[in-house]
A and B are shown apart, each in its own frame.
Chain A
């Protein structure tokens, strides 16, 4: 097992798939000559050339719309959105075109496209550049939404996404590119639509994903010092949602919290809690608590921004609340 960063993991996945399949190409703002605004595609332009690493105009409709068209005729484009906040400019393509084309034309069209987008707060980028709107995208049948929390998952899931014949939104977190983790040597794939137990425990279940996983692992270490063993279920894919490991864990612990970086209202936590109520009502020993972002646009000021984002201490407090 090699220990690499999230950035390296994503970069390796892209490179391996481009080497494997000539139909795979990348298009987006500053992906080429610049090397990617988060340096994920650094060196790609020199290695693969302008045909396969396409710098686009700053025009999100053109980026995602053209990627859809190219995918429909058999290519495998990876459209990169500089941040997920710019996805709103291309909302029609992400939620109203790509997820519909296979269904609406009776299965005639397929859209084997991956949209990579960087989300998340914590970098003092202000309200319009710091959002975690994952739940919005997960609302739409026909789209798959993947958001990994470890380098191992990022690499294996991205490779699967590139090989998938469905349109996939792949959400990365802006503050996690330096996170290091063990990655298997050689070729491996991780299936889309499978949640994973990232930490075993018996006292409560923490359901989370992406940045929430990083925070929850830290919180679990702290809780462990006090004799509380949290089991952490990492969703990894928001749609299709795999509730099996969540329910299995909950039926064992009977107590749960859900941790997400996005807003609480109408969020991922709302969905998870509803599913638990529907599927495991008899196992509930305490009200389930959601840890999420405060209901404000994210401010620029560092202290204010951190106060709005979920913290390790919030997770610890929530865990203790459900164990009371």
Chain B
């Protein structure tokens, strides 16, 4: 991988982290409503994954989507504006935290029903199969989504029809507050893919380079073979499931242990150790992120609310 790309990935990861931290502050201040699920701790997953795609490859994810939006190329301005429900958000303030998308950036949402987007992902790939192209659909979901019926119907269809989907399970160890062991018949989630005779792999989701490499290989397989692939990514969310999570289900020591494996810290050290970057270079990236995020907050706060007439637009394409 080229140096520039690695530095760009570092920039994306720090940008996600800071957007989330500022978002949390704005949420506490009452400027962001609804549910908000932070990606802090999981930045290496979508950063590595999406860096490995070609622009024509589609991305679809669940409600923990701010980071994915940034990795797909949406600006911090648009993300922050959508969080604040402003007309300048990518979904015009009608979607909010859980519904970020961009057709232009091939980012197909942002979906809030656990597992509900998996059959839709199969459908994106079906559309491509029908159009006879070899685009790959990257579908991200949490460990919790592998226990619901949608997951099984979607994996079965993808394998039966040879749909080009890279299924990515972000195993962050908990479905809301219930650990994998308490909710899933198998804690080694890849075993579920085995049940559908689907090629699969597992990767350390705190190491962005490892994720990138695993994703490259997986995407290449999917594209070439015309078959789905299942990638389990081990990761951890440092914050609660959503804002307002009392976190009674896990111990502080456990969180601390994972935080010592901070994906940004790991990547930072890697870039310095391999001399891909200098301390000064990384400091500059972090300073750039600060400016970007401050500007995004200003942009979002200064942006107009959606006009009241927007209430009735886009209910139908044809009225």
A70 and B123 contact, Cβ closer than 8 Å, known pairs A59-B153, A109-B101, A109-B103: yes
B121→A105 contact, CB < 8 A: no
* A interface bracket (residues with beta carbon within 8 Å of B): 35 or more
A164 to B319, CA, bound (A): 11
Q: Is the CB of B149 within 8 A of A105?
A: no
The segment out of B19-27, B89-97, B227-235 that lies at the interface is: B89-97
Which of B58, B108, B160, B314 is within 8 Å of A107, CB to CB?
Answer: B314
With contact pairs A69-B124, A72-B120, A108-B103 given, residues A56 and B113 touching in the complex (Cβ less than 8 Å): no
Contact (Cβ within 8 A) A73 B127: yes
Instruction: Fill in one digit per residue for A108-138: 1 if any B CB lies within 8 Å of its CB, else 0.
Output: 1110000000000000000000000000000
Query: Quick one: closest A residue to B156, CB to CB?
Result: A57
Contact indicator per residue, chain B 110-128, by CB within 8 Å of chain A (1) or not (0)? 1101001011111111111
B179 within 8 A of A: no
Q: Is B317 a contact partner of A102 (Cβ separation < 8 A)?
A: yes
| Set of chain A residues within 8 Å of B122, measured between Cβ atoms | 62, 65-66, 69
Could you tell me the distance in whole angstroms from the C-beta of B196 to the nearest C-beta in chain A?
12
Q: Is A236 an interface residue (CB 8 A)?
A: no
| A9 at interface, CB cutoff 8 A | no
Do residues B119 and A164 form an inter-chain contact, with CB atoms below 8 A? no
Distance (Å) between the CB of B316 and the closest chain A CB?
5
Most buried by B among A64, A65, A240: A65
Name the interface residues of A65-109: CB closer than 8 Å to any CB of B. 65-75, 77, 92-93, 96-97, 101-109
Question: Are B127 and A74 within 8 A (Cβ)?
Answer: yes
Contact B154 A65 (CB under 8 A): yes
* Chain B residues whose CB sits within 8 angstroms of the CB of A71 once the complex forms: 123, 127
* B150 CB-CB contact with A under 8 Å: yes
| CB-contacts of B278-319 with A (<8 A) | 313-319
Chain B CB within 8 A of A25 CB: yes
Residues in A neighbouring B58, C-beta threshold 8 A: 73
Query: In the bound complex, do residue B318 and residue A72 qualify as a contact, i.e. CB atoms below 8 Å apart?
Result: no
Roughly how many angstroms separate A308 CA and B91 CA in the complex, as a whole number? 47
Q: Cβ of B157 and Cβ of A66 under 8 Å apart?
A: yes
Q: Once bound together, how far apart are the Cα atoms of A109 and B91, in whole Å?
A: 10
- Contact indicator A105/B154 (Cβ below 8 Å): no
B94, B102, B109, B123: the one contacting A103 at CB < 8 Å is B94
Report B-chain residues with C-beta under 8 Å of the C-beta of A96: 113, 116
Q: Which residue of A lies closest to B311 (CB)?
A: A103
Most buried by A among B91, B93, B113: B91
On chain A, the residues within 8 Å of B124 by CB distance are: 69-70, 72-73
8 Å CB contact of B313 from A68, A107, A165: A107
* Cβ-defined contact, B91 with A142, below 8 A: no
| Bound-state Cα–Cα, A56 to B90, Å | 35
Distance to closest chain A CB from B287 (angstroms): 33
The answer to whether B157 and A164 touch across the interface, beta carbons within 8 angstroms, is no
Minimum CB–CB distance for A68 against chain B, Å? 5
Could you tell me if A59 and B156 are in contact, using CB atoms closer than 8 angstroms?
A: yes
The yes or no answer to A141 lying at the interface (CB within 8 A) is yes
Question: A105–B120 contact, CB under 8 A?
Answer: no
- Give A191 Cβ to nearest chain B Cβ, in Å: 10
Neighbour of A62 across the interface among B130, B157, B317, CB < 8 A: B157
Residues of A within 8 A of B123 (CB): 65-73, 77
A61 within 8 A of B: yes
Q: Which of A67, A73, A101, A108 contacts B128 (CB 8 A)?
A: A73
Residue of B126, B131, B149 touching A66 (CB-CB under 8 A)? B126
Complex-state Cα separation, A141 to B316, whole angstroms? 8
Given contacts A62-B119, A104-B91, A104-B95, contact A110 B127 (CB under 8 A): no
On whether A65 and B95 interact (CB within 8 A), knowing A141-B315, A144-B316, A166-B317, the answer reads no
* Contact, CB under 8 Å: B314 / A106: yes
CA distance A56 to B123 in the complex (A): 13
With A51-B130, A102-B314 as contacts: A66 and B119 at CB distance below 8 Å: yes
| B94, B157, B318: the one within 8 Å of A56 (CB) | B157
Complex partner residue of A97 from B93, B113, B130, B156, CB under 8 angstroms: B113
Chain A residues within an 8 Å CB radius of B192: none
Q: Is the CB of A61 within 8 A of B126?
A: no
Is B99's beta carbon under 8 Å from chain A?
Answer: yes
Q: Which of B118, B156, B318 has the most C-beta atoms of chain A within 10 angstroms of its own C-beta?
A: B318
CB distance from A162 to the nearest CB of B (A): 13
CA distance A57 to B149 in the complex (A): 14
Whether B318 and A164, one on each chain, are in contact in the complex, defined by CB atoms closer than 8 angstroms, is yes
CB of A166 within 8 A of CB of B316, answer yes
A126 to B319, CA, bound (A): 38
C-alpha spacing A69/B153, complex, angstroms: 14
Q: How far is the CA of A191 from the CA of B178 in the complex (A)?
A: 50
Are A25 and B130 neighbours in the complex by a CB distance under 8 Å?
A: yes
Give the shortest distance, in Å, between A28 (CB) and chain B (any CB): 13
Q: Assuming A59-B157, A65-B118, A93-B119, what are 14 further A-B pairs, CB within 8 angstroms? A: A57-B153, A57-B156, A65-B116, A69-B121, A71-B127, A73-B127, A77-B123, A92-B150, A105-B91, A105-B99, A107-B314, A109-B109, A240-B316, A240-B319
Could you show 15 A-B contacts with beta carbons less than 8 Å apart?
Answer: A57-B156, A62-B122, A65-B119, A66-B123, A69-B122, A70-B123, A70-B126, A73-B124, A75-B130, A104-B91, A104-B94, A105-B94, A108-B102, A142-B315, A165-B318
Interface residues of B (CB under 8 A from A): 58, 89-95, 99, 101-103, 108-111, 113, 116, 118-128, 130-131, 149-150, 153-154, 156-157, 160, 313-319
- Nearest first, the 10 closest Cβ-Cβ pairs linking A and B are A69-B123, A65-B119, A106-B92, A73-B127, A66-B123, A70-B127, A165-B317, A62-B153, A106-B91, A107-B314
